Structure 1
Amino acid sequence: MKKNILFCLLLSICTHAQINRFFYEYKYVPDINNKTNIINEMMLLDIDAKGSNYYSHKRFIFDSTMVANIEKQITGGGALNFQEGGNPGTVNYKVTKSYPDFKTYLFTRIFADQYKVNEDQKPEWKILSEKQKIGEYTAQKATTSYGGREWIAWFSTEIPIQDGPYKFYGLPGLIIKLEDTTGTHVMTLVGNKTIKAPAKETKEIENGDVKVIFGGLQEIEITKDKYKKLWKEYVKDPAKNMRNMRNMADNGENVIIKHIDSNGNEITDPNKAAREREKIVKESLAKNNNPIEPDLVK
């Protein structure tokens, strides 16, 4: 019987022939109590006639490398090693917008579950007269309240695209720079180019009785209110999903569970594994207390 292995990656999220790719330098402070720790991640805004996709460049490279490595293993025969390597970056979400209605979705995850969160709020802008030169573009100032933050955008009509990084759009030109009033989330356009012939959304690699499918996992489409509820449940009990998976394995379902502690050692005691999971999540949340959209996770 052929073994099907399914992976969901950020790889190949564009499928059209002509893509305008804009590069944004994203600087943010994960811990509001430690503003000296600034994370710098390059983000991509890919735009074509049907819409846009915003995602991490580092994550894209990481996923592409993983696909190449697994393809090499499969074609070479022998056992597969799915151990992740390299640096996937810190931004794991992506945002898509469809034209002309600008239907917006946030693709994110809670534990092992992938979600497609329907955005129901449109940025309402106040356009001001103030202008400044940002890079090679003359930009104009606009402000909005969005997602629990006050934002300042600088847009340029020299690029007549009503789009921008993350969930922001609706100005008379492309957003060149976007920052919140705390200065802890800043996105700045640093370059652009046109690319051709992006890869397919779903890639299949097959050899003998092994078939690996990348990009084929269907996200669960939900509302923002539903996502907020699920997030609160996760924060309250981070080990719940892990225990559910353990129960599936104990009931004879085809699920293999391995619990790894913060030092990379396997934990065989389920109760100890649950406590370790709770500890790791709580420590992570304590250090990442300044999300880009506070209203979504409060």
Structure 2
Amino acid sequence: MIKYIFILLFSTNLFAQNGLVYYGFIDAKGMGNAKGPDSNAYLVFNKEQSYFVTAKDSLESKVSKTETKTFKNEGESGGLTIMGNKVSPQGDQVAYHIKKNTMWSNVLLGNQIYTKEVAPDMNWKISKEIKKIGKFNCKKATSNFRGRIYTAWFTSDIPLPYGPWKLHGLPGLILEAYDTDKNLYWYFKSVEYPSKTKEKAKYMSIPKDNKWLNYTEFQKEQQDILEKAMEKNKIMAKKYPGFKISDPDIELMFIEFK
């Protein structure tokens, strides 16, 4: 009986463990090839839920928040100039709860936008291809998700269905992920499992003057922002006829566009 109780307590403690994985995130929309601002990110998780955050003020150095960098692909004469990494006090966040099958997210796009949705079905296709990331043997999987084809490398050594941002649903933790052109690229830095971190996988809070949007409402709000920007461009083009003013591309405005 004593042995049975010990095993039961040990198992309960194991399932309650927190894990913590650190990522780098390169936002290369408009350039591709993982050429863009490089931010810190982390994911804290347990067997029931996960919490991901990036673009958070406290995660970045003073230099990364203020310095100007130009990114260009080989053979290009121009490039893309970015003034500092995008940050906010709370960062861009995604909370995911397995049993509730729900995701809550927050992203800074002019204003802080809060979205609540049924966890999307990723429909991953797992291949036989394997590569090592850190000390982990990882399997390759691909999915067509909201306008982009993503590749994810996951490890069965940590058999929980989490990953950076909204990527989820594989039989192991995602350590690396990117879309076809590497407009978006999450790469592995380190992992603690189990972790002694005091940070916990949690639900997101929302200010009183904000509201949760569903995914359709989120898309409509972004379309409205696009249309206002295009209207402003028309006014500028009339005012400065000698300058070429390009309309913003909705695919470059945010990371979900279908």
TM-score (normalizing by structure 2): 0.65
Shift of 1:237: 2.4
Aligned residue in 1 for 2:147: 148
Equivalences for 1:72-151 in 2 at 5 Å?
89-90=86-87, 92-112=91-111, 114-119=113-118, 121-151=120-150
Q: Which amino acid aligns with 1:197?
A: K
Equivalences for 1:203-222 in 2 at 5 Å?
216-217=207-208, 219-222=210-213
Q: 1:50–1:159: structure 2 CA closer, same or farther, 3 Å change rule?
A: closer
Shift of 1:235: 2.2
Q: 1:136–1:217: structure 2 CA closer, same or farther, 3 Å change rule?
A: farther
Cα distance between partner residues in 1 of 2:96 and 2:176:
19
Cα deviation, 1:47-86, whole Å, max 9, x if unaligned, reads 1344111111643447xxxxxxxxxxxxxxxxxxxxxxxx
Aligned residue in 2 for 1:171: 170
Aligned residue in 1 for 2:36: 38
Q: 1:293–1:112: structure 2 CA closer, same or farther, 3 Å change rule?
A: closer
SS at the partner of 1:225?
helix
| Total equivalences in the alignment | 202
Q: Which of 210, 214, 225 matches 1:234?
A: 225
Shift of 1:231: 1.5
Cα deviation, 1:107-160, whole Å, max 9, x if unaligned, reads 235544532242552100111111111221101111110010011111111111
Q: 1:284–1:96: structure 2 CA closer, same or farther, 3 Å change rule?
A: farther
Aligned residue in 2 for 1:292: 255
Q: Would you say the 8 A contact 2:20–2:43 is kept in 1?
A: yes
Q: Would you say the 8 A contact 1:29–1:290 is kept in 2?
A: no
Aligned residue in 2 for 1:197: 198
Cα distance between partner residues in 2 of 1:218 and 1:38:
33
Shift of 1:222: 1.9
Q: Would you say the 8 A contact 2:20–2:44 is kept in 1?
A: yes
Q: Would you say the 8 A contact 1:58–1:88 is kept in 2?
A: no
Q: Would you say the 8 A contact 2:150–2:178 is kept in 1?
A: yes
Q: 1:113–1:159: structure 2 CA closer, same or farther, 3 Å change rule?
A: closer
Percent sequence identity is 20
SS at the partner of 1:171?
coil
Equivalences for 1:16-31 in 2 at 5 Å?
19-31=18-30
Q: 1:130–1:18: structure 2 CA closer, same or farther, 3 Å change rule?
A: closer
Q: Would you say the 8 A contact 2:115–2:215 is kept in 1?
A: no
Q: Which amino acid aligns with 1:170?
A: G
What is the aligned-residue RMSD (CA, Å)?
3.6
**Could you list the runs of 5+ residues in structure 1 that have no partner in the other structure?**
1-16, 63-86, 202-213, 239-274, 276-281
Q: 1:102–1:120: structure 2 CA closer, same or farther, 3 Å change rule?
A: closer
Shift of 1:217: 3.9
Runs of 4+ in structure 1 off by over 6 angstroms are none
Aligned residue in 2 for 1:157: 156
Aligned residue in 1 for 2:9: none
TM-score (normalizing by structure 1): 0.57
SS at the partner of 1:237?
helix
Q: Would you say the 8 A contact 1:152–1:179 is kept in 2?
A: yes
Cα deviation, 1:253-296, whole Å, max 9, x if unaligned, reads xxxxxxxxxxxxxxxxxxxxxx9xxxxxx99956992643232x
Q: 1:160–1:115: structure 2 CA closer, same or farther, 3 Å change rule?
A: same
Cα distance between partner residues in 1 of 2:34 and 2:114:
32
**Could you list the runs of 5+ residues in structure 2 that have no partner in the other structure?**
1-15, 61-83, 230-235, 237-244
